[in-house]
Amino acid sequence: MSRQSNYLSISDILVTNEKIPCKFLHDLPKMGFLDPSSTEDDLKLGTNVEIPLWLAESLYFRKPPLVSVDLPKIYKEAYREILNADACTVDLHKLGQHFYELGCYIAKHDIKGEVANTLINTFRQRFRMILSASCSTDSISSLQPLSESERERTAAAAVTEKALSLWLQRGDCPLSTANMVASHRKRKRAEMEMF
């Protein structure tokens, strides 16, 4: 469940699919379609467009860089102030599904290092939200204002919590059907019932 990013990591691929605002520093012939508001064939120097992070990163790292990257709203000063004051009040489920992971990529575009500090502060403050969500008996509903990775951590902690309370309650743990076997049986049954 660890979120280490690597070439084959699905979660990192989803993070790098997020769109971020960029400004093109060169003309791009035939790339007009990258700007949905334009009908031109070519993309002109100076155009501001939102493109996926993976594309922005690869264009930014060309020498010379082909784009400059602007901060998405949630990392800008207005939000940073709110987050630094009380990060727990912000609904990251709505405003930043991949707040930390995207932030790690974005932070280098903020030379003053404010984004980095906000990420660290926010993470530290919101840890207690995960703590309390993981031992609440409700299932992790979509109503909770947690980001995607916070949600995953909460779910993992809830699994531990549940295993422990089962252990405390009962004697032996019966042997059980393997996970995938059980899931496939369940799916097969569901499919059969449809007919």
Partner 1 sequence: MEYDNIELSDDEEEITAQTVLRTLQNAWQNERLAPEILPHQNEMVECMLGQIQHMERNINKLPKTDLRASIHKMELNRIKFIICNYLKTRLDKIEKYCISILNDEKQRLESGTNYLTPSEYKYAQEYLINMESHLKEAALDHVPGNMQSFDLNKLVIYPNLQAHVFLKANETVTGIILEDLGGDQDEEIDLEENSQHILQYKPIADLLKSGKVQLM
Partner 2 sequence: MFGEKVIELIKEAERNRDTIDQYNDEKVRQIIEEMHVLFKMNMADANATSENKSLWTTVQVRHSALERNKRCLLAYLYNRMNKIRTLRWEFGSVLPSDVRELLSDSEYTWFSKYSTNLATYMRSLGQDIGYSGIDLTENLRPPKSLYIEVLCMSDYGKLELEDGDVILLKKNSRHFLPTSECQTLIRQGILKQIT
Partner 3 sequence: MDPYEIEFIGENRIVNIIPNFSHDKIFLICGEFGPFRAGLPMNVPLWLGVMLKQKQKCRIVAPDWMDIEVLENIKEEEKKSRFFTKMPNEHYMVEAKLILGTAAEDKPRASEIKTIIKDIWDIRMSKLRTSMDALMKTGGSYGRLDHLTMMEINSVKPLLPQAMDELHRIKMNARKTMPVQSSLNSAVSQPGSSQSIL
Given the rule CB under 8 A, which residues bind partner 3?
A: 1-7, 9, 12, 16, 53-54, 57-58, 60-63, 100, 103-105, 107-108, 110-111, 113, 115-116, 119-120, 123-125, 127-128, 130-131, 134-135, 149, 153, 156-157, 160-161, 163-164, 166-168, 171, 173
Residues 74 and 95 sit within 8 Å (Cβ to Cβ):
yes
C-alpha distances in Å from residue 194, one per residue of 109, 182, 184, 187, 188: 52, 19, 15, 11, 10
The residue (of 165 and 183) whose beta carbon lies closer to partner 3 is: 165
Tokens coding 40: 């031109």
Separation of first and last alpha carbons in the chain: 37
23 makes contact with partner 2 (CB under 8 A): no
Determine the 3-state secondary structure of 91 from DSSP: coil
**Can you name the residues that pair with 52 across neighbouring β-strands?**
19
User: Which range touches partner 2 (CB under 8 A), out of 49-57, 100-108, 114-122, 129-137?
Assistant: 49-57
37 makes contact with partner 2 (CB under 8 A): no
Whole-angstrom Cα distance, residue 124 to residue 138? 23
Contacts of 84 (CB under 8 A, 6+ apart): 117, 118, 121, 122
Q: 75 contacts which partner out of partner 2, partner 1, partner 3, none, CB within 5 to 8 A by kind?
A: none
Q: 115 contacts which partner out of partner 2, partner 1, partner 3, none, CB within 5 to 8 A by kind?
A: partner 3
Which of 6, 137, 141, 179 is the binder for partner 1 (CB under 8 A)? Answer: 6
Site residues, partner 2 (CB under 8 A): 7-10, 13-14, 17, 26-31, 33-34, 52, 54-55, 58-59, 62, 66, 172-185, 187-188
